[in-house]
């Protein structure tokens, strides 16, 4: 398979060859063929007796063959017989038969009569609710069943109108009141006229085919002679079918594919062979041995069983197989290998569905030369078909190479579901061509070939990352040598947990540890399963749940897995030790098998900072106990922590909504009753009132007032109109603009900071002024912009005002898309209300609202954190923490002042600096802040480079050195090298996901800090001395890691306290504080930690969801440069950089990023741990430039 060119601009749409119009009915076409091929065999049933005219079942079957003359004669007699009962054109004939000769008889008779052929799978009769639904939906005039058992099932559920229905039983020995035996003997009578006048036309409904119901209630698809025969004509051309060919009809006769192959064979004068009543691989093999050039249509699971049965014959080959036609699923490498061994003349892979028959087929002439790629190529459209790849739940065509939703169209597509109207959301028409949205993920290459990726409903969304189950299944199927299914199970920690279910014949123990380790490298850590389950041993299933046509029922499999986990959880609560429960939590978060997590070793060998934060939340919710980060840092083995937990009391379970901390509107403390009212000096009250006047709000609109942390207060300074502003563009899929506005309002209502503005009481302290949800608020905060035509128009739209510290801190513009059911959101954020962790959680909740899925996220009111921070700021321990930082920074003004990056212009302003104000309060001169690269400046958009670090996780596993420490060490060495200073100085962003003071022994809050509904981040100014000439890499990295742990213990030290302490330390203290404050904005190191469960990026940009997609992000922070390193995959270190275009040239940043990454790659090699740091190399590694050229973005 050729890799599609992702940069091509051609639209992802393709059209098959034109077909001549279908101007006659299916009955007329079949009659014509029967007259031309009267003596040729039309149908052969290998499991029915030919000893009598009536084809009965027998234990020693003798093949029963009907010629076209026989089939035409008997079907016309039956049609006349049915018509004689007053049943004629348009009647619905319900057929509940196996693959048997009477199936052909009824199909032909229905077509002659101008009726509607409605086949049902006999197995549906065991599901009374489905059977009743279908009978009520169709209200048949005639019912034909295979046996008295089925007749009894029909009688038991449907008595409405039963007296007016003709009912036949094929089984000759059956006898049941009000049912007539259908005797073929009675059909062998001469008729004077073959003519059966009918008002039936080619566009009238001729077939009603029910979907499998795998996504809910079965839907009835009405097909006409045009749709079915048109599809058959296209199928015939690709299959190259002829009158001397046969088809092995072992498919389910109630499925569109089964009907299609029969019609295709009969319309060419070929032979339809029924090997067995239902699929039996051994019977199908016998069919191949008894018939001429045979086409074998099947689903992948059927092909697998068929080829296994054939292989059991020994050295035989399949000379009579003309084509093996596989559709309805993914072809695995193991299946392809079986095809090669048995050597059919051609392999054809295809795609179709009940709503559109077959539209795509990929003929492979040289099977031995064919190489299966990552995704199955189902070919270009067949003659008469049209396909497009569109954005999910949208009619907007994507470009070739882009993954989207497959829309199939053309002659075979129906206009809508039966009795549900012609205008179902899934169906539409373009220039006279009917289309249906399939719900399948796919992309199209430059040759118009379609590659299937998977089903949108089967996507596994784990910690904001979309996992492709097909890719996972292909990998493990090949690695284990078994049939495998990947399923997502709801999980409160990560949205969904990945479970792999396998069916094995071998009872050997599964090498789970090796599978996890290798799959992490190949697929990425996010795709490492939380659990492997055996279909039989764990789930108690003898076979996979499937649809009637062989497709896997993942909904039923998911339900069985959930029952297994529920039962396991109950057992665990009763009998599992605390150590085992802790181990299970770590296993779920890390993807490591439980038996690989030693209870007596440090969890820091695999757990990064974000995983530790998630662990505390999991312990709180699953084990009902509190753990602090400090306790985890001290007791970092499972055994040690378990002893601590045993001494802790159980926490009462929270009741109610997942967002249990969300305050009911109107019950929060108000402006005058707030805990913070004591700080409301007359001057602050005047400031608040002035802001309310500006926003045309009153004190009655205020819900509460919340103080800001010192670090977030730094963002209240308005140096320019767009200071600290972010612009996000998001696509909401299948959401109208009206619904989008309602969703946004509901989303904003649940989070206080999303409804806030800023006020300041002095130069260092700010407050959030939170408004009650109201129409007055929505009028200013949520608006609808003008309709746009394309996603590019949405991205570049200038709709809306920037969120500033002078107004609302979040503004949302809903943008309708023309000719589309999707909507765009342009969100203008002020950075003072979010950090990376809470932003991703907020967007995760928004995506859940769009998908109408229950929230898996907990949020705790932000005012609780603000209260704790405010109390901590006043307590002695905050000054102790400030002393820790001040001591490290004392004397910084005596350093050489050649810090990196160089300052070439006033201030540090990333992005649009229009209207900037100088330090003197006067408007700045644009001429002194020119864009160094002019229109090619790209600091706002930033760049992304990466380098392979294949052994970086070994450092953590074997030496407890975290990847974040390696990246920070590279930042240190880069600064030392570039400045020639003895010390490196830069800010590191810390998550702050700990309650203020808890690390210093202060009583901490009951709720995990992860769930705080707002920003807890802070910036720490690092001053790190150069390693000595004899310091080894190992010594240096461990020193940095120990230093980081000290920083973590003093994270929430207020910046105002630090600068105050620094000023008092020495005669240079005042200048030290001035320099330290200036350096906070210069260079920022912001490690992006792994999300728990293996999603290696926590950026909100990676939180795309099947129902929500990020299109663009622009950040305009008042900073010089921001480094954002992360592990893109377990062996790839990624570095994003964005900067002030008035300070740095792009080529300077490119050199700096390459130097940074080469240094990191060298440090990440365990072989260098005993080497002296001075031997570090800063070049020579292959650095990938992953960024695309962009025009300057303001």
Same domain as 827, residue 739: yes
Helix (H) or strand (E) holding 206: strand 205-210
Same domain as 934, residue 809: no
Report pLDDT digits (tens) over 642-681. Answer: 898 888 888 765 433 344 334 433 334 444 444 444 455 5
What range defines the domain where residue 534 resides?
Answer: 459-564
Q: Which residues pair with 769 in a beta bridge?
A: 705, 757
Say what the alpha-carbon torsion angle 114, 115, 117, 118 is, to the nearest 10 degrees: 160
Query: Long-range CB contacts (< 8 A, 24+ apart) of 185-188?
Result: 185/52, 185/53, 185/54, 186/77, 187/73, 187/74, 187/77, 187/78, 187/81, 187/105, 188/53, 188/73, 188/74, 188/77
Same domain as 842, residue 957: no
pLDDT for position 107: 98
Burial class (CB in 10 A: 0-12, 13-18, 19+), 1030: exposed
Confidence band, pLDDT 50/70/90 cuts, at residue 10? confident
Same domain as 550, residue 465: yes
Worst-scoring range by mean pLDDT, 617-621, 1095-1099, 1150-1154? 1095-1099
Residue among 292, 300, 294, 303 nearest 323 (CA): 294
Asked if the structure places residue 814 within a domain, the reply is yes
Report pLDDT digits (tens) over 65-97. Answer: 999 999 999 999 999 989 988 888 889 999 999
Tokens read off for 1038: 């461990």
Q: What mean pLDDT do residues 391-416 have?
A: 89
Tokens read off for 355: 């709503």
Same domain as 706, residue 827: yes
pLDDT for position 591: 65
Residue 1058 contacts residue 1015 (beta carbons within 8 Å): no
pTM of the complete model: 0.66
Asked if the structure places residue 183 within a domain, the reply is no
Tokens read off for 431: 């220039």
The highest-confidence range among 7-11, 157-161, 526-530, 816-820, by mean pLDDT, is: 816-820
pLDDT for position 462: 65
Q: What mean pLDDT do residues 153-172 have?
A: 77
Same domain as 1046, residue 943: yes
Same domain as 850, residue 703: yes
pLDDT for position 668: 42
Distance from first CA to last CA of the chain, Å, rounded? 41
Instruction: Report the CATH number at residue 851.
Output: 3.30.559.10
Same domain as 1127, residue 984: yes
Neighbour order of strands in the sheet with 943-948: 1018-1025, 983-990, 1083-1085, 1121-1129, 1132-1139, 943-948, 1183-1185
Asked if the structure places residue 1104 within a domain, the reply is no
Higher pLDDT, 994 or 42: 42
As a whole number, the mean pLDDT across the chain is 84
pLDDT for position 666: 38
Instruction: Report the CATH number at residue 971.
Output: 3.30.559.30
What's the CA gap between 626 and 628, in Å, rounded? 7
Asked if the structure places residue 599 within a domain, the reply is no
Give the CA diameter of the chain: 121
Report pLDDT digits (tens) over 1150-1194. Answer: 999 999 999 999 999 999 999 999 999 999 999 998 766 666 666
DSSP-derived letter for residue 654 is P
Q: Which residues pair with 362 in a beta bridge?
A: 349
Asked if the structure places residue 987 within a domain, the reply is yes
Confidence band, pLDDT 50/70/90 cuts, at residue 588? confident
pLDDT for position 140: 93
pLDDT for position 223: 97
Asked if the structure places residue 942 within a domain, the reply is yes
How many of the other CB atoms lie within 10 Å of CB of 555?
15
Does 105 score more than 70 pLDDT? yes
pLDDT for position 452: 87
Asked if the structure places residue 77 within a domain, the reply is no
Q: Which of 842, 859, 876 is the last residue of a domain?
A: 859
The highest-confidence range among 178-182, 614-618, 869-873, by mean pLDDT, is: 869-873
What's the CA gap between 1171 and 1179, in Å, rounded? 17
Asked if the structure places residue 1012 within a domain, the reply is yes
DSSP-derived letter for residue 1001 is T
Residue 1135 contacts residue 1153 (beta carbons within 8 Å): yes
Confidence band, pLDDT 50/70/90 cuts, at residue 899? very high
Report pLDDT digits (tens) over 489-514. Answer: 876 555 677 888 988 766 666 676 67
Q: How far is CA 198 from CA 91, 113, 224, 263, in A?
A: 12, 7, 15, 21
Buried residues in 359-377 as b, exposed as e (16+ CB within 10 A): bbbbbbeebeebebeebbb
Higher pLDDT, 520 or 1159: 1159
Does 1102 score more than 50 pLDDT? no
What's the CA gap between 868 and 1007, in Å, rounded? 12
Tokens read off for 410: 């053309």
Q: For the chain, what is the domain count?
A: 3
pLDDT for position 144: 95
Tokens read off for 853: 């899925």
Q: Which of 532, 564, 596 is the last residue of a domain?
A: 564
Same domain as 555, residue 468: yes
Same domain as 938, residue 809: no
Report pLDDT digits (tens) over 228-245. Answer: 999 999 999 999 999 999
- What contacts 1096, CB < 8 A, 6 or more positions away? 524, 525, 526, 1090, 1126, 1127, 1128, 1129, 1130
Worst-scoring range by mean pLDDT, 269-283, 401-415, 444-458, 517-531? 517-531
Q: Which residues pair with 487 in a beta bridge?
A: 499
Q: What mean pLDDT do residues 722-728 have?
A: 93
Report pLDDT digits (tens) over 795-831. Answer: 888 766 676 767 899 999 999 998 777 899 999 999 9
pLDDT for position 745: 95
pLDDT for position 999: 54
Same domain as 1028, residue 1175: yes
Instruction: Report the CATH number at residue 465.
Output: 3.30.300.30
Q: Which of 815, 832, 859 is the last residue of a domain?
A: 859
Same domain as 944, residue 835: no
């Amino acid at each position: 398979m050729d890799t599609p060119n992702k940069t091509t601009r051609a639209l992802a749409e393709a059209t098959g060859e034109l077909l001549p119009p279908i101007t006659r009915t299916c009955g007329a076409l079949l009659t014509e063929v029967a007259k031309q091929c009267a003596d040729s065999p039309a149908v052969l049933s290998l499991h029915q007796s030919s000893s009598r005219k009536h084809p009965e079942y027998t234990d020693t079957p003798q093949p029963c063959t009907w010629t076209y003359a026989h089939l035409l004669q008997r079907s016309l007699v039956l049609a006349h017989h049915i018509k004689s009962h007053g049943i004629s054109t348009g009647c619905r004939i319900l057929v509940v038969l196996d693959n048997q000769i009477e199936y052909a008889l009824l199909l032909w008779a229905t077509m002659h009569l101008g009726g509607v052929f409605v086949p049902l799978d006999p197995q549906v009769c065991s599901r009374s609710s489905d059977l009743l639904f279908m009978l009520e939906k169709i209200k048949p005039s005639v019912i034909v069943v295979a046996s008295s058992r089925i007749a009894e099932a029909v009688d038991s559920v449907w008595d409405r109108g039963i007296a007016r229905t003709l009912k036949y039983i094929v089984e000759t020995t059956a006898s049941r009141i009000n049912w007539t035996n259908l005797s073929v003997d009675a059909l062998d009578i001469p008729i004077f006229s073959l003519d059966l006048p009918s008002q039936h036309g080619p566009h009238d409904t001729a077939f009603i085919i029910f979907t499998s119901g795998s996504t809910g209630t079965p839907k009835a698809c009405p097909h006409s002679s045009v749709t079915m025969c048109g599809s058959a004509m296209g199928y015939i051309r690709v299959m190259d079918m002829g009158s001397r060919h046969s088809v092995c009809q072992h498919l389910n006769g109630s499925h569109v594919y089964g009907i299609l192959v029969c019609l295709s064979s009969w319309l060419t004068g070929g032979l339809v062979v029924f090997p067995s009543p239902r699929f039996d691989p051994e019977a199908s093999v016998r069919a191949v041995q008894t018939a001429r050039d045979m086409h074998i249509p099947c689903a992948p699971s059927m092909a697998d069983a068929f080829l296994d049965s054939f292989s059991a014959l020994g050295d035989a080959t399949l000379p009579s197989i003309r084509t093996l036609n596989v559709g309805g699923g993914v072809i695995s490498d193991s299946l392809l290998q079986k095809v090669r061994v048995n050597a059919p003349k051609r392999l054809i892979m295809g795609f179709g569905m009940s709503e559109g028959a077959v539209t795509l087929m990929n003929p492979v002439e040289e099977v031995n030369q064919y190489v299966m790629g990552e995704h199955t190529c189902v070919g270009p459209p067949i003659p008469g078909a049209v396909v497009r790849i569109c954005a999910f739940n949208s009619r907007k065509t994507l470009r070739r190479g882009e993954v989207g939703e497959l829309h199939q169209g053309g002659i075979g597509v129906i206009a809508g579901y039966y009795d549900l109207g012609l205008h179902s959301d899934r169906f539409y028409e373009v220039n006279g061509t009917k289309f249906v949205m399939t719900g399948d993920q796919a992309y199209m290459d430059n040759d118009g070939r379609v590659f299937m990726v998977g089903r949108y409903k089967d996507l596994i969304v784990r910690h904001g990352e979309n996992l492709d189950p097909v890719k996972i299944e292909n990998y493990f199927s090949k690695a284990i040598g078994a049939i495998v299914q990947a399923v997502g199970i709801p999980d409160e920690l990560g949205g969904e947990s990945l479970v792999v279910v396998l069916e094995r014949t071998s009872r050997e123990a599964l090498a789970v540890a090796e599978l996890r380790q290798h799959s992490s490298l190949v697929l990425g850590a996010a795709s490492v399963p939380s659990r492997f389950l055996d279909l039989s041993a764990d789930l108690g299933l003898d076979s996979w749940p499937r649809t009637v046509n062989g497709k896997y029922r993942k909904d039923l499999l998911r339900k069985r897995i959930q029952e297994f986990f529920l039962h396991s959880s109950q057992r665990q609560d009763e009998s599992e030790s605390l150590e085992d429960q802790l181990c299970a939590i770590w296993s779920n978060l890390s993807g490591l098998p439980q038996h690989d997590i030693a209870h007596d070793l440090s969890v820091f060998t695999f757990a990064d900072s974000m995983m530790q934060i998630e662990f505390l939340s999991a312990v709180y919710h699953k084990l009902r106990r509190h753990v602090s980060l400090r306790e985890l840092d001290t007791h970092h083995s499972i055994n040690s922590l378990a002893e601590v937990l045993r001494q802790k009391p159980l926490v009462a379970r929270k009741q109610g909504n997942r967002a249990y901390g969300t305050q009911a509107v109107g019950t929060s403390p108000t402006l005058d009753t707030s805990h913070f009212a004591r700080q409301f000096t007359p001057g602050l009250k005047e400031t608040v009132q002035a802001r309310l006047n500006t926003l045309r709000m009153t004190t009655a609109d205020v819900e509460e007032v919340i103080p800001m942390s010192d670090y977030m207060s730094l963002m209240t300074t308005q140096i320019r109109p767009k200071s600290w502003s972010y612009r996000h563009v998001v696509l909401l899929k299948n959401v109208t603009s009206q619904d989008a506005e309602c969703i946004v309002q509901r989303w904003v209502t649940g989070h206080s900071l999303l409804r806030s503005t800023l006020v300041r009481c002095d130069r260092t302290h700010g407050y959030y002024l939170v408004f009650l949800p109201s129409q007055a608020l929505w009028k200013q905060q949520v608006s609808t912009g003008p309709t746009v035509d394309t996603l590019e128009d949405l991205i570049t739209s200038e709709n809306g005002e920037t969120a500033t510290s002078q107004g609302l801190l979040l503004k949302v513009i809903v943008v309708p898309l023309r000719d589309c059911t999707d909507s765009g959101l342009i969100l203008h954020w002020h950075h003072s209300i979010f950090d990376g962790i809470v932003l991703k959680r907020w967007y995760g909740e928004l995506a859940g609202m769009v998908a109408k899925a229950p929230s898996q996220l907990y949020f705790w009111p932000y005012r609780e954190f603000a209260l704790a921070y405010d109390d901590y700021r006043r307590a002695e321990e905050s000054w102790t923490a400030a002393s820790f930082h001040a001591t490290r920074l004392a004397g910084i003004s005596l350093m050489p002042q050649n810090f990196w990056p160089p300052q070439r212009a006033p201030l540090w302003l990333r992005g649009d600096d229009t209207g900037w104000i100088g330090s003197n309060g006067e408007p700045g001169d644009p001429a002194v802040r020119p864009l160094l690269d002019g229109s090619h400046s790209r600091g706002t958009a930033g760049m992304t480079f990466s380098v392979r670090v294949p052994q970086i996780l070994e450092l953590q596993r074997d030496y407890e050195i975290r990847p974040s420490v390696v990246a920070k060490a590279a930042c240190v060495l880069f600064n030392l090298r570039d400045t020639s200073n003895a010390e490196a100085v830069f800010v590191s962003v810390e998550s702050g996901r700990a309650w203020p003071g808890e690390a210093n022994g202060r009583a901490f809050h009951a709720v995990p800090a992860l769930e705080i509904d707002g920003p807890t981040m802070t910036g720490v100014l690092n001053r790190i001395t150069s390693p000595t000439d004899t310091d080894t890499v190992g010594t240096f990295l461990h020193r940095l890691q120990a230093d980081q742990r000290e920083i973590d213990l003093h994270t929430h030290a207020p910046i105002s306290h630090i600068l105050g302490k620094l000023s008092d330390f020495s005669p240079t203290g005042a200048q030290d504080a001035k320099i330290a404050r200036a350096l906070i904005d210069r260079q920022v190191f912001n490690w992006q930690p792994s999300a728990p469960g293996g999603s290696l990026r926590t950026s909100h940009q990676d939180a795309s969801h099947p129902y929500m997609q990020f299109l663009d992000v622009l950040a305009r922070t008042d900073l010089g440069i921001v480094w954002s390193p992360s592990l893109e995959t377990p062996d790839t270190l990624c570095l994003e950089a964005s900067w002030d275009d008035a300070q740095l040239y792009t080529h300077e940043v490119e050199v700096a990023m390459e130097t940074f990454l080469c240094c990191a790659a060298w440090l990440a090699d365990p072989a260098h741990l005993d080497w002296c740091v001075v031997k570090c190399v800063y070049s020579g590694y292959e650095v990938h430039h992953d960024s695309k050229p962009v025009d300057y973005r303001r």
